[in-house]
Structure 1
């Protein structure tokens, strides 16, 4: 066994394996840095293998659907600008999680997400003509482009911070 993934890396691995489970994400409010907790209720992953100068590369396109569970920030979920800022913060968090998972996988030269299968499926001749023999080394050099889009579908019944409203 090479190593064990922590909770965050396991979430990143779920995105890469196209098997996202319901989980919570906490981000800091873009305006005030106070925590906002959301549930990721749905995740869609599309991963496209390609080559850049004979180096394996992957376009990782992720879509997340989330619902706000707790908002301790000053964000007003009725304001489109605030909602977009929160969606971007969640997208950035997911991207960072997946990026960290990829770094660990590449560091230990282990393709836990089975991305080599995608290369084999799209480029079978390249795979058979030597790529499979040294996949762990090639994987360690692979390039990744990660795009994340988040849609917050449910902001709850209270759209503003209750404590702030009472002041």
Structure 2
């Protein structure tokens, strides 16, 4: 009996050491934030906007995406404050559920705010355990909250459209961690994805115009302030300089008669920094593969010599795109391709002695030698247009 009582006493005492759910948060008491937008008001205060799903409106399918008037399955709200947390606290005052940020995947920055400096964003985000440094950072053309008001037709939430566009094969996926490293590393400047809203055309009188989110390029930063935008071929050139294997579309002319559109993929870039007779030089070697997606003018790609001409035209296109990106960096006094980092790693003494205090001004006098080697791996299922008449012998 004594043994049984002792065992029972030990079991009862051990129960006192067990923890309970004293601070539990029920799922129906939580508002899941999918994305946030940061803008600056005329008086300098911060406008903080959030987008969250409405659980009661997510049971059935909503036609026309998530942004059709009257059938929205999400809610957008914003508030103004001196700091991010102050605006967030004011938002929380009128919400019956606690805002939860662990499911947030994108952070949108308004263009005006980006031009004033984004360094403060990296103070508020890492302080909360719910916020992740892997979320994608996007600069919006104009106001960031206008991206939240878009009505994409393929996605239920605008935040999903933004996230899918950032992850697309033709875009460099840039998250907060990568931007922070660029801002804190010597000889480098940050870039972020740059997006805007484009109003699509009406297909009939009874349909409404949709506001689609569009990838426009990459926002260019000097220290933490936005100074410009890489667009079109400049954006492709930047991706190749950063050795990002993005998929790009290029249209080239052959013999001034034929127009060929190529899909360029699997690109690689190697950059070496050194000095020649006291002048700084960067040797850039790029390799890429491509396939023909369209050929106007009935250009016969069954001949090896003609394939080589296409490859030469593609080499010129890639080189020109990279040079345009470099000229854009020099004009805006930025080092978005991190040339200074290559110089710092390969020649730390030269960097500290001559260039550290005045970079990226040193890029203006540097020599950039670019060598491109591209290979046309696919010409498609046909060599010539199928409607071309057969030649008689």
Q: How does the TM-score come out when normalised to structure 2?
A: 0.41
Q: Which residue of 2 aligns with 1:23?
A: 248
Per-residue deviation, 1:75: 2.1
SS in 2 for 1:19: coil
Unaligned stretches of 5+ in structure 1? none
How far, CA to CA, are the matches of 2:334 and 2:301 in structure 1? 41
Q: CA 1:95 to 1:141, structure 2 compared with 1: closer, same or farther past 3 Å?
A: same
2:348 is aligned with 1:124: yes
> Looking at both structures, which has the greater relative contact order when contacts are Cα pairs under 8 Å and sequence separation is at least 6?
1
Q: Report the counterpart of residue 93 of structure 1 in structure 2.
A: 317
Query: C-alpha distance in 2, partners of 1:107/1:141?
Result: 12
| Match status 1:152 vs 2:383 | no
Q: Is the 8 A contact 1:77 1:155 kept in 2?
A: yes
Give the greater-gyration-radius structure (CA): 2
List alignment gaps of at least 5 residues for structure 2: 1-225
Residue matched to 2:238: 13
Residue 345 of structure 2: SS of its match in structure 1?
Answer: helix
- Counterpart CA distance in 2 for 1:10 and 1:69 is 21
Q: Answer yes or no: is 1:78 the counterpart of 2:302.
A: yes
Aligned residue pair count: 166
- Secondary structure at the counterpart of residue 162 of structure 1: coil
8 Å Cα contact 1:55-1:138 kept in structure 2: no
CA-to-aligned-CA distance 1:64-104 (integer Å, 9 cap, x gap): 10011111133211100100000100111111111111111
2:270 is matched with which residue? 46
Work out the CA distance in 2 between the residues paired with 1:161 and 1:52. Answer: 50
Kindly indicate which of the two structures has a greater share of residues assigned to helix: 1
Aligned twin of 2:62: none
Deviations 1:84-126 (A, max 9, x none): 0001001111111111111111122211111100000000111
Task: Tell which deviates more after alignment, 131-140 or 156-165.
Answer: 156-165
3-state SS of 1:89 partner: helix
For residues 356 and 319 of structure 2, what CA distance do their matches in structure 1 show? 28
Q: Helix, strand or coil for the counterpart of 2:356?
A: helix
